[in-house]
Amino acid sequence: MSAEILDTTGGILTVRIAGTLTHPELRAVQKSAAEILQRQGRMRILVLAEGFQGWARGGDWGDLSLQAESDPFIKKMAIVGEQKWEDLAVLFAAKGFRQFPVEYFPPAGLGEARAWLAAAP
């Protein structure tokens, strides 16, 4: 699976994406995350892009309905991944257009990403 929820402790929902992300995999992890957010309340999101190869063709990547439902429950989002994906990842995550801050960190910056998430919004 190229998208899965790893953890939900400490007020942080951690998601790992790897390989080539398909639209059905994204929708499934978004749906699971939305259910968790609605049960637990506002959380911070940590996305770990490990061995990420990009996005698969096909599917309705423009469907933002689950994103719109979940945004009120998200305080911050940190994405950790290879530098080559930064521009596309922050575009995909709609940095600057969401109701919460989104930041991107290189793999060596995982600790920095966690500290940023833990800091007051």
- What string of pLDDT tens digits covers the 121 residues of the chain? 589 999 999 999 999 999 999 999 999 999 999 999 999 999 999 999 999 998 888 877 766 777 888 899 999 999 999 999 999 999 889 899 998 999 999 999 999 999 999 998 7
User: How far apart, in whole angstroms, are the C-alpha atoms of residue 117 and residue 121?
Assistant: 8
β-strands 102-105, 12-21: how paired?
Answer: unpaired
Fold (CATH) for 3-118: Rossmann fold (3.40.50)
- Stated pTM of the model: 0.93
Cα dist from 7 to 12, 54, 56, 61, 68, whole Å: 8, 23, 25, 25, 22
